[in-house]
Amino acid sequence: MQTDPPVTAAAPPLAFAPIHTRRAFEEICARIREQVAEGRLKPGDKLPAERELAQQLAVGRNALREALRSLEMAGVVELRKGAKGGAFIRGGDAGRLAQVMQDMFSLGSISVEELTESRVHIQDQVVRLACARATRADFEALAANIDRTEAATRDGAFLDRVECSREFYRLLAQATHNQVMSMIVASLTEILMGFVYARVAGGGKPQPRLIEKRREFLAALRARDADTACRLMHTHLESVHRLLKEFPKPLAAAHLPPRRRAA
């Protein structure tokens, strides 16, 4: 006896989520970034005049202005006024990364523990690269920095000594000859130096034997002895981070001397 096949439930009709078109200014930003990524626009190039660019993109001038302001804030373009003004493609600005990280820290997205842990591990790689790649000029720059640190210590100019420390880490990162490493180190250093300023402003005493430890570290670096240099750096950073716990909040940039804010 022949039986009918079992009845199966009908498949539900296909359903697609609605497509949300980008806002005009976002599309403009994407188009300009695309031209930069493909090499059609390079640092220093000037974008077409506002009216012409709006016509090419078939957008309103208000949307175009909003897009250019957004790109300016992102560091992609520079808006200049005057007869020779306009919108120009900017070169890379490593300070943007530092500002993003600073904002994340201020908003509580990044903890001090994460910063200090990252700094220890990143500096380890920086030291190893510097041992392999540093030039005579790099060594001389670091030696001159240590001399300035010694002079500032002798004169009791402890804020100047903090500036020397900031420069020391910049020079060490520069000795890696890796721009990405330099950007990361600069970003971490900027935030953590706020804690150092807070400590100095709060009457904290400078670390003893810093000059001696700096010279010992530089000697290991010159000898291309990465293991010894890393050990010395690790020990130093651990001691610094312990001291910074005495001052749970960094000194705000607005409270630093103008010269140091700009450094």
Per residue in 115-165, pLDDT (tens digit) is 889 999 999 999 999 999 999 999 999 999 999 999 999 998 888 998 999
- Residue 7 is given by DSSP the state P
Same domain, 172 and 215: yes
Same domain, 82 and 136: no
Domain presence at residue 15: no
Please give the C-alpha separations between residue 197 and each of 104, 207, 244, in angstroms, as whole numbers. Answer: 20, 13, 10
Number of independent structural domains in the chain: 2
- Arithmetic mean of pLDDT, 230-253: 78
Domain presence at residue 55: yes
Residue where a domain stops, chosen among 70, 89, 108 = 89
Same domain, 69 and 180: no
Same domain, 83 and 179: no
Residue of higher predicted confidence among 169 and 5: 169
pLDDT range class, residue 6, cuts 50, 70, 90: low
Domain presence at residue 12: no
**Residue-range definition of the domain harbouring residue 250:** 95-262
Domain presence at residue 196: yes
pLDDT digits (tens, 9 = 90+) for 171-197: 999 999 999 999 999 888 888 887 887
Same domain, 248 and 214: yes
Domain presence at residue 7: no
Residue of higher predicted confidence among 17 and 34: 34
User: Is-contact 251 198, C-beta < 8 A?
Assistant: yes
> Using CA atoms, how far apart are residues 123 and 220, in angstroms rounded to an integer?
15
Whether the pLDDT of residue 4 is over 70: the answer is no
Same domain, 85 and 110: no
Q: What is the pTM of this model?
A: 0.72
* Per-residue pLDDT, 16: 43
Domain presence at residue 17: no
Judged on CB neighbours under 10 Å (0-12, 13-18, 19+), 70 is middle
Nearest alpha-carbon partner for 145 in 128, 167, 160, 123: 167
* Per-residue pLDDT, 14: 52
Residue 242 identity (one-letter amino acid): R
Residue 165: give its domain's CATH number.
1.20.120.530
Same domain, 58 and 165: no
User: Is-contact 153 91, C-beta < 8 A?
Assistant: no
> Using CA atoms, how far apart are residues 97 and 188, in angstroms rounded to an integer?
10
> Using CA atoms, how far apart are residues 161 and 155, in angstroms rounded to an integer?
10
Same domain, 79 and 101: no
